[in-house]
Chains A and B, each alone.
Chain A
């Protein structure tokens, strides 16, 4: 900066945000270089939650990995299991019954809503609105209760297994899910009125942290963050897996409703829109769900032939990929996860440059990372 006071000695301040900080969404450490309140650079330091997941998997059988997969992105456990089960099924050539596919899709989309509710709620919290956060959590708890009813756990399910699911749906599940959908629709409108359309919220997020499409693609950003930048890219449609090709749903993209395409508000609002689309999918799936046995295709022991596979699914946060190498044993020879949060986090430094301290929080929240997945 060339000013008249440039002969004065001034230093940049290094502000250390995290690993213990109210809004770093876990144990992320951000090294923020500040010039007053202006950000010069942001360097994320990760690894505080590293658990050697990938190496550990090499010592475990295929079913034993599933509880660990839950702990990657603990807000979207169902979807992690979904992706893992798909990968192993493709590797071992297992066909699953149609009812299982429907159950998986219903669970996955419910999980997507639950995950987006956390993303939206905590984003409000980052911006300073506490109340929407709890409204979101009320709804999320309802979804978790549905999950608990089905598989007995609220957060780490171990529900979707290779070749099937652990339990069939409980008798009340369909009715309660329908009830939930009916009560949830007005909640989206209420959240929009309370937070999304609030002028202060729009001012805080619109035109902040703009992610241009080419940058997004270059950084490998996926999921809602990529779609908010304007690209209609959703693996559910572009690389269909399971039975997603049977459903009619739209892929919302960022349109720069209150500013530029790809700003924080777009990323935030896209999640709102995706929740509506998830509801559409669930409604269709509930109508079409066939009867059948859900555990019949679960193999006694999973021993895929030698080979390798890369299988990807559209997790609530983006492209979740599993690369599995099998040497024909009971354990995978190598398991690599392509976590969406980890890849999306890299773009943070790019987005923050030139913004204010408060915007770091806004941008970080809009990227919606889960540290369990970043660090694995």
Chain B
């Protein structure tokens, strides 16, 4: 009997305590925001969409090798002796034409492993997080500054140069050092 009454008592009292708490929350301001109208300020270290500053890229392929999901595809062509590719912002001389720099952002896992090995800090993560697309292909971002024809031209130039060199020396050279990493498609 004592148990019976204490059950009724504790049931009622705990229900009232709970109701008091939810009632209090009825008047606390909401923590949610009206997203597209209001946006949360993101901290400086936030990791969202990757961006590559091609002016600084030397085509070293380190980011592609660090990537655990192989979402970065880089192809490079050696520049010819006379060509000047300019310098990166931290003073490194560029020696490779980057004919392909594709990031399949649909594969990217935002782990930031590609950012740290970059010698010129040209690949980094931005605070852009709204980039959904209806087609998967559109999520393959191409960063190279060379157009398709230019890329082909550079490749042909290099091959010609190699061929000439080979003809000059009349001895076969080792194949081009371009290392196409895994194909993203």
Q: Do chains A and B make direct contact within the complex (CB under 8 angstroms)?
A: yes
B116 touches A166 (CB 8 A): yes
A158 touches B18 (CB 8 A): no
**A153-B17 contact given A66-B111, A67-B109, A194-B22, CB 8 Å threshold:** no
Binding site for B on A (CB under 8 A): 60, 63-68, 131, 135, 138, 141, 145, 148-153, 156, 158, 166-167, 170, 190, 193-195, 197-200
Q: List chain B residues, Cβ under 8 A from A153.
A: 47, 110
B14 touches A198 (CB 8 A): yes
Q: Tell me whether B21 is interfacial, beta carbon within 8 Å.
A: yes
CA distance A151 to B42 in the complex (A): 12
Nearest B-chain residue to A148, judged by Cβ: B43
CA distance A67 to B112 in the complex (A): 9
Binding site for A on B (CB under 8 A): 7, 10-11, 14-15, 17-18, 21-22, 25, 31, 42-47, 66-68, 109-113, 116, 125
Q: List chain B residues, Cβ under 8 A from A167.
A: 45
* 24 residue pairs A–B, Cβ–Cβ below 8 Å: A60-B68, A63-B113, A66-B111, A67-B68, A67-B109, A68-B68, A131-B22, A131-B25, A149-B43, A152-B47, A152-B125, A156-B111, A158-B112, A158-B113, A170-B44, A195-B18, A197-B17, A198-B15, A199-B10, A199-B14, A199-B15, A200-B11, A200-B14, A200-B15
CA distance A145 to B21 in the complex (A): 25
A152 touches B68 (CB 8 A): no
B11 touches A170 (CB 8 A): no
CA distance A190 to B22 in the complex (A): 10
CA distance A67 to B69 in the complex (A): 10
What 10 A-B pairs come out closest when comparing CB atoms?
A: A152-B47, A67-B111, A64-B68, A152-B45, A199-B11, A158-B111, A149-B43, A199-B14, A198-B14, A194-B21
Choice from B17, B25, B45, B109 contacting A150 with Cβ under 8 Å: B45
Q: List chain B residues, Cβ under 8 A from A158.
A: 111-113
A194 touches B112 (CB 8 A): no
CA distance A147 to B14 in the complex (A): 36
Q: List chain B residues, Cβ under 8 A from A63.
A: 66, 113
**A152-B113 contact given A193-B17, A197-B17, CB 8 Å threshold:** no
Q: List chain A residues, Cβ under 8 A from B22.
A: 131, 194
Q: List chain A residues, Cβ under 8 A from B113.
A: 63-64, 66-67, 158
Choice from B18, B31, B44, B67 contacting A194 with Cβ under 8 Å: B18
Q: List chain B residues, Cβ under 8 A from A198.
A: 14-15, 17-18
CA distance A149 to B40 in the complex (A): 13
Give min CB distance, A28 to chain B, whole Å: 24
Q: List chain B residues, Cβ under 8 A from A156.
A: 109-111
Q: List chain A residues, Cβ under 8 A from B17.
A: 193-194, 197-198
Give min CB distance, A54 to chain B, whole Å: 15
Q: List chain B residues, Cβ under 8 A from A131.
A: 22, 25
Give min CB distance, A259 to chain B, whole Å: 14
Q: List chain A residues, Cβ under 8 A from B31.
A: 138, 141
Q: List chain B residues, Cβ under 8 A from A150.
A: 45
Q: List chain B residues, Cβ under 8 A from A200.
A: 11, 14-15
B18 touches A152 (CB 8 A): no
Nearest B-chain residue to A149, judged by Cβ: B43
B14 touches A170 (CB 8 A): no
Q: List chain A residues, Cβ under 8 A from B10.
A: 199
Q: List chain B residues, Cβ under 8 A from A193.
A: 17-18, 21
Nearest A-chain residue to B109, judged by Cβ: A67
